[in-house]
Chains A and B, each alone.
Chain A
Amino acid sequence: MSGTNKSYDPVEVSTLDPAALDAAVTEALTAFAAADSLESLKTARLAHQGDTSPLSLANREIGALPPTAKADAGKRVGMARGRVARALAERQNELEVERDARLLVEETVDVSAPVARRRLGARHPLELVSERVGDIFVAMGWEIAEGPEVESEWFNFDALNLGVDHPARQMQDTFFVDPPDAGLVLRTHTSPVQVRSMLERDLPLYIVCPGKVFRTDELDATHSPVFHQIEGLAVAEGLTMAHLRGTLNHFVEALFGQGLETRLRPSYFPFTEPSAELDFRCFICLGSDGSCRTCGGTGWIEWGGCGMVNRDVFQACGIDPDRYTGFAFGMGIERALMLRHGVKDMREMVEGDVRFSTQFGMEI
């Protein structure tokens, strides 16, 4: 410290010369602006902000100044360094934003390319229709009842007022289990489930019975020896045909569309009396097209049979026909699928071609 020059003039120290400082700053700013990448900016930063850069040197020399000069020089150097630091941060930010944007562009893919890494399966549309119909009734407080497909003759025929002389009991219509006197058949309708339910469940009773049924028809575009039905049965005190109609109207609207008009017309079934057929307005032509293929030009679509449960059926099931009344109805699931989704050929429903089911997806 002995050699300290008390009359040291900071202006005389070259690196602290204001003009030199300005020049260093200008040089730094120019270099930063000229940097066109984060890499070149890094190089510029080392050159103009690094340990050997003029401003760093200047900063170091401040320490050697007399106290009187320190404050002034420190202030000037500090300002210069601040300007450089701000310019660097600004440029750094600019280049980072540029890089980020470029990266996103570079990472762009063709999202329209088809992708199917995993194969999705499908439900069979008949099952989906069946579930949908079941849900409609479950939503009304009904339950779904089921039973065996190999069934006793008594449940399939006798209890339903189809006596021994009924045509359906002939071998040309019904599959009989061998030996034929075993009293077993492949059920020809899901009605035996209704009989089982009347025998086993408590009254009042509101059930639908979906399931597979069998008739000795050869497979063609409109017939199949194995097909699907859904039948309904309600037994309670005070049920009338008006309740039957109300139920079926709701069913039709829920499955085919709101506001479809229905019509009941007299018919005959051994297990109901009175009996009726339910038609609904053709939802394609609404009855206005005499050449409509969906309804055959009649304006009405035949939907299924129904009626008030025959007293004889109640009797066989041990239900007091003077106290209880009931109604029953039955529809074909295949028919619903054909009508609702334009399936033209029954064979497509039974062949198991994966293309058939896949087109419907998982909800119908």
Chain B
Amino acid sequence: MRAPVSWLGEYVEGAPVATGREVAASLVRMGLEEEDLHGGDITGPLVVGRVLEFVEEIQKNGKPIRWCQVDVGQNGQRVTEGTPQGIICGATNFAVDDLVVVVLPGAVLPGGFAISARKTYGHVSNGMICSAAELGIGSVGSDDSNAADGIVVLQSFLGEQDAAKLTPGDDAIELLGLADEVVEVTVTPDRGYCFSMRGIAREYAHATGGTFRDPAAMASAAANTSGYAVQLADEAPLNGRMGCDRYVARVVRGVNASAVSPPWMQKRLTQMGMRPISLAVDVTNYVMLALGQPLHAFDVSTLRGAIVVRRAQAGEKLRTLDNVERTLFSEDLLITDGGTAVLAIAGVMGGATSEVGASTTDVLVEAAHFDPTSVARSSRRHKLTTEASKRFERGVDPDITALAAEMAVNLLLEFGGGAADEGVTDVDHRPARARIDLDPSLPARLIGLPYSSEQVIESLREIGCDVLEPTWSGAGSGSDSASVSAPVSKALSVLPPSWRPDLRNGPDFAEEVVRLRGYDQIPSVLPQASSGRGLTHGQRVRRVLANTLAEQGFVEVLTYPFVSAQSHDDLGLPAADPRRTTVRIANPLSEQAPLMRTSVLSTMVEALRRNVSRGQRDAAIFELGLVTRPDGEPRVAPIPGTLERPDNATLGQIMAAVPPQPRRVAFVMTGDTDPAGWWGPGRPADWTDVVGAARALASALAVELVVTADDHAPWHPGRCARLELADGTLVGHAGELHPKVVTSLGLPSRTCAAELDVDVITAASNVRVQARELSTYPVAQSDVALVVDEQVGAADLESAVRQGAGEMLESVSLMDIYRGGQVGSGRKSLAYRLVFRAPERTLTTKEVNGLRDRAIAAAAAAVGAVQR
């Protein structure tokens, strides 16, 4: 919403003279956030000029330019002596004798555009003839959307009559109101009344201590029974509220169809960002901007019967003013002609047929009060937000309906002639506004400032509330001992003003008190939080996982969790894979990715590809995040009321309908993992790096990980490690991706990846590690090579060795894997280094050999190992 500083000054008396920025700062303090500042940034000379003659010269590009001689009065003497001035102009929408706006050397246009005499197109152009865009006044007086680029011709901009009073050389800054700054503010949904100069001026008065002069403080013609017939026939009110509870209709006949609105009104409309159109339309817009009451003007000659306000019927249609044929919804509130022909969607937009036009002489002015919810729903259903709907949705003052119509009628009469009908229709079903009890100590308790009762009352009265102070009973009655002198209620009884439907309870009033008395007065007090327990185990685990991966060379990414069904095929997931059971977004940004991911890996692929395509051939990335894993059963989350806590059964239903979202960590790598350099060649990443990283994560959290071979999409069936806890709980998978997956996903060959369940790791690591005593006796080392069948996993062999070697075994390391003639085909030899240490003595060679032999025997028994 915009507010010209000059217009504000008209409604607020006694406020100090202020710049636009100062006005904006005042309004910000009242809760109207500054959006922009317009105007006020032109410095002269900017003058009225008359085009005396011009020569049109066609340029090489085929575009014409005009070399004009312009009379600019006594201005612009710096370069050429006397008048006229020679000026080059690229626009062609003006003629000889037109009055135009000329900016002369030394002036500065909006955006800091400094004007000087300059040589161009073979002439010295001594200034510029201005377009509406250059002056920052938008497109004016034309339906052509390119009009902003056209020259402002003052005869059409101001009208012949007013233009006739101008003399070349007159100051155009004042004439066009360009010195007037316009403040643009954001209006929050609770302050619908600030979609009017009346509302903003009221806040400006609060901010500055000026006196608010209410533009609605005027008399309106009394309603009678001879006005245009109006019936309010809402048979399906929403939430028990009538769609329309007040409808004022006034008729003005014999208006001059070609009359235009006065320049001051056009200027204000332009300043407000609206385009002057015709007297009737301009007047309704002007009143709306001034008072916040949207009006509609009907051409009386198009109407056949009474105005009937009712809900739509199935199948009804309306071609609205924006020339769109709209099928109406049964909840839409309509303005109809005699109950049949649809004239308008109430409070949103009128129809084309009843629109006032170039030949309209008899105008019906509608001023009505519509239910905010009804208008909001219609506006959204039709995806149609208008100046009217914006205001009705947020609440329009129901007490100014008749006044707004009166103001419009008066303006029509003043500038269009004609006569107003004696009949004044005002169908008024406004519900009474309720008084609200307010504990006067509440603002102090909520804000933390010691507001007195008097201060609270003063502030509430200032914003227009009617406040009744507590009444006292029983005073002075001596005969009845039970009657004590005590307040019946110590609460204030507050009637909010008609334009403040948002004021419903104590905290609403508290906000008004602190708003008026200043948010800047609120002190700063640090609360003493009840002693917290720090991060949870799960939160600490995630930090360890992320930091460990970063230290292992992986870079953290945060990808969007949206995938396509195709991505499941690309990953080679079997048809019945639970990862194909997804949550689908009803309104995805892209139909290409309407599903929530079921694995983190699936969305990281694109990030890896992007890195490679940007030249990062050696890339390792990781992500920690949620996946959505519904069980496929359709469930609906109930939506209970909010007047009380839903019962546990309902809450349980809500929780159960929310699909499980386990947390995962995934990492993927390609290219070299150890970089090449002057020190030697790089080392390409392979399956050992991701399995190693997974093992590192487990070690970092002191979790034992059992690694076995698996065949699980999207991994290479011969290079896929299944990661489990000691108790067999699945943690995840790691290894090289399946060559087909690599191809279908467009990844570099041999890309390796892993995905682990963070929730499982978190639970597994949530045990206190019990310390082992460290022996300081010497270690004894024994090497052994064991030959097994190719199918035997190293994990199984090692586990047998460990079990056989017993408690004295401190560590076992796999030093070599050999395949070849010496061990026979289909066999492999694994060389282990066993390290033994006893807690309380030095082991003898004999003992060590015995332990080693037990390990060999156990390996032989478990997996058929033979010592080499």
| Contacting pair A362 B589 (CB below 8 A) | no
Chain B residues near A362: list those with CB within 8 A: 547, 550
Q: Considering only CB atoms, which chain B residue lies closest to A173 in the complex?
A: B587
Chain B residues near A161: list those with CB within 8 A: 642
What's the Cα separation between A138 and B555 when bound, in Å?
26
One of B553, B557, B639, B640 near A124 (C-beta < 8 A): B557
One of B587, B622, B644 near A316 (C-beta < 8 A): B644
Given the interface contacts A158-B642, A159-B642, A273-B508, does A122 sit within 8 Å of B530 by beta carbon? no
Q: Considering the complex, which residues of chain B in the window 1-46 have a beta carbon less than 8 Å from any beta carbon of chain A?
A: 28-31, 33-34
Chain B residues near A175: list those with CB within 8 A: 585-588
Q: Considering only CB atoms, which chain A residue lies closest to B190 in the complex?
A: A268
Chain B residues near A315: list those with CB within 8 A: 642-645
Selecting from B421-429, B604-612, B706-714, B728-736, the interface stretch reads: B604-612
Q: Is A101 an interface residue (CB 8 A)?
A: no
Chain A residues near B646: list those with CB within 8 A: 154, 316
Chain B residues near A357: list those with CB within 8 A: 555-557
A-contact 0/1 string along B580-615, CB 8 Å cutoff = 000111111100001010000000101110110010
| Contacting pair A268 B589 (CB below 8 A) | no
One of B527, B561, B611 near A239 (C-beta < 8 A): B527
| Contacting pair A353 B610 (CB below 8 A) | yes
Q: Considering the complex, which residues of chain A in the window 238-276 have a beta carbon less than 8 Å from any beta carbon of chain B?
A: 238-243, 245-247, 249-250, 262-268, 273-276
Q: Is A153 an interface residue (CB 8 A)?
A: yes
Chain B residues near A234: list those with CB within 8 A: 527, 529
Q: Considering the complex, which residues of chain A in the window 139-170 have a beta carbon less than 8 Å from any beta carbon of chain B?
A: 140-144, 146, 148-155, 158-159, 161, 165, 167, 170
Q: Is A6 an interface residue (CB 8 A)?
A: no
| Contacting pair A171 B529 (CB below 8 A) | no
Q: Is A186 an interface residue (CB 8 A)?
A: yes
Given the interface contacts A179-B586, A241-B446, A316-B642, does A120 sit within 8 Å of B188 by beta carbon? no
User: Which secondary structure dominates where chain A touches chain B?
Assistant: mixed
A-contact 0/1 string along B635-662, CB 8 Å cutoff = 1111111111110000100110111010
Chain B residues near A241: list those with CB within 8 A: 446-448, 514, 522
| Contacting pair A351 B560 (CB below 8 A) | no
Selecting from A14-22, A72-80, A304-312, the interface stretch reads: A304-312
Selecting from A37-45, A50-58, A60-68, A109-117, the interface stretch reads: A109-117
Q: Is A294 an interface residue (CB 8 A)?
A: no
Chain A residues near B514: list those with CB within 8 A: 241, 266, 274
| Contacting pair A116 B526 (CB below 8 A) | no
Given the interface contacts A141-B530, A149-B661, A268-B189, does A154 sit within 8 Å of B638 by beta carbon? yes
| Contacting pair A158 B556 (CB below 8 A) | no
| Contacting pair A311 B616 (CB below 8 A) | no
Within the complex, what minimum Cβ distance (angstroms) separates B578 from chain A? 17
A-contact 0/1 string along B528-567, CB 8 Å cutoff = 1111111110010001001101111111111111000000
Q: Is B90 an interface residue (CB 8 A)?
A: no
Chain A residues near B461: list those with CB within 8 A: none
| Contacting pair A243 B551 (CB below 8 A) | no
Q: Considering the complex, which residues of chain A in the window 342-357 have a beta carbon less than 8 Å from any beta carbon of chain B?
A: 349-355, 357
Given the interface contacts A117-B675, A318-B645, A350-B560, does A148 sit within 8 Å of B611 by beta carbon? no
A-contact 0/1 string along B444-461, CB 8 Å cutoff = 011111000000000000
What's the Cα separation between A158 and B639 when bound, in Å?
8
Q: Is B97 an interface residue (CB 8 A)?
A: no
What's the Cα separation between A351 and B584 when bound, in Å?
23
| Contacting pair B554 A150 (CB below 8 A) | no
What's the Cα separation between A142 and B532 when bound, in Å?
5
Chain A residues near B33: list those with CB within 8 A: 265, 267, 277
Given the interface contacts A120-B551, A216-B587, A354-B619, does A325 sit within 8 Å of B558 by beta carbon? no
Within the complex, what minimum Cβ distance (angstroms) separates B575 from chain A? 21
| Contacting pair B589 A267 (CB below 8 A) | no
| Contacting pair A151 B658 (CB below 8 A) | yes
| Contacting pair A268 B188 (CB below 8 A) | yes
Q: Considering only CB atoms, which chain B residue lies closest to A352 in the complex?
A: B607
Q: Considering only CB atoms, which chain A residue lies closest to B677 in the complex?
A: A116
| Contacting pair A152 B658 (CB below 8 A) | yes
One of A171, A264, A298 near B522 (C-beta < 8 A): A264
| Contacting pair A144 B535 (CB below 8 A) | yes
Chain B residues near A350: list those with CB within 8 A: 558-560
What's the Cα separation between A209 and B386 when bound, in Å?
37
What's the Cα separation between A191 and B850 when bound, in Å?
65
| Contacting pair B445 A119 (CB below 8 A) | no
Within the complex, what minimum Cβ distance (angstroms) separates B697 from chain A? 13
What's the Cα separation between A263 and B446 when bound, in Å?
18
| Contacting pair B527 A178 (CB below 8 A) | no
What's the Cα separation between A351 and B612 when bound, in Å?
12
One of A240, A250, A352 near B447 (C-beta < 8 A): A240
Q: Is B569 an interface residue (CB 8 A)?
A: no
Within the complex, what minimum Cβ distance (angstroms) separates A109 from chain B? 11
Q: Is B618 an interface residue (CB 8 A)?
A: yes
Q: Is B519 an interface residue (CB 8 A)?
A: yes
| Contacting pair A273 B673 (CB below 8 A) | no
One of A250, A312, A318 near B526 (C-beta < 8 A): A250
What's the Cα separation between A247 and B697 when bound, in Å?
36
| Contacting pair A178 B586 (CB below 8 A) | yes
Q: Considering only CB atoms, which chain B residue lies closest to A225 in the complex?
A: B589
Selecting from B372-380, B802-810, B838-846, the interface stretch reads: B372-380
Within the complex, what minimum Cβ distance (angstroms) separates A172 from chain B? 8
A-contact 0/1 string along B494-536, CB 8 Å cutoff = 0000000000011110110011000110111111111111111
| Contacting pair A183 B558 (CB below 8 A) | no
Q: Is A340 an interface residue (CB 8 A)?
A: no
Given the interface contacts A170-B380, A325-B445, does A265 sit within 8 Å of B530 by beta carbon? no
Q: Is B462 an interface residue (CB 8 A)?
A: no
What's the Cα separation between A266 and B625 when bound, in Å?
36
What's the Cα separation between A308 and B654 when bound, in Å?
27
Chain A residues near B191: list those with CB within 8 A: 268
Within the complex, what minimum Cβ distance (angstroms) separates A228 from chain B? 8
Chain A residues near B34: list those with CB within 8 A: 298
Chain B residues near A141: list those with CB within 8 A: 528-532
| Contacting pair A122 B527 (CB below 8 A) | no
Q: Is A102 an interface residue (CB 8 A)?
A: no
Q: Considering only CB atoms, which chain B residue lies closest to A131 in the complex?
A: B543
Chain B residues near A355: list those with CB within 8 A: 616
Within the complex, what minimum Cβ distance (angstroms) separates B577 from chain A? 20
What's the Cα separation between A124 and B634 when bound, in Å?
36
Given the interface contacts A141-B532, A265-B29, A265-B31, does A126 sit within 8 Å of B558 by beta carbon? yes
Q: Is A82 an interface residue (CB 8 A)?
A: no
Given the interface contacts A119-B673, A127-B556, A148-B661, does A206 sit within 8 Å of B587 by beta carbon? no
| Contacting pair A351 B556 (CB below 8 A) | no
What's the Cα separation between A325 and B639 when bound, in Å?
25
Given the interface contacts A121-B620, A246-B526, A352-B558, does A266 sit within 8 Å of B511 by beta carbon? yes
One of A123, A242, A349 near B448 (C-beta < 8 A): A242
| Contacting pair A263 B637 (CB below 8 A) | no
What's the Cα separation between A126 and B34 when bound, in Å?
29
Q: Is B414 an interface residue (CB 8 A)?
A: no
Q: Considering only CB atoms, which chain A residue lies closest to B642 in the complex?
A: A316
Chain A residues near B505: list those with CB within 8 A: 273, 311
What's the Cα separation between A268 and B608 when bound, in Å?
42
Given the interface contacts A183-B637, A350-B558, does A236 sit within 8 Å of B674 by beta carbon? no
What's the Cα separation between A263 and B189 when bound, in Å?
22
| Contacting pair B525 A245 (CB below 8 A) | yes
Q: Is B679 an interface residue (CB 8 A)?
A: yes
What's the Cα separation between A70 and B614 when bound, in Å?
94
A-B contacts, 14 listed (Cβ < 8 Å): A119-B553, A124-B557, A141-B532, A150-B659, A153-B637, A171-B586, A175-B585, A177-B583, A216-B587, A250-B526, A266-B29, A273-B508, A311-B507, A362-B550
**A121-B622, A315-B644 known, 5 other contacts, Cβ within 8 Å:** A117-B677, A120-B553, A123-B547, A152-B657, A268-B189
Lowest 5 CB-CB distances: which A-B pairs, in order?
Answer: A318-B645, A352-B607, A266-B31, A242-B448, A240-B448
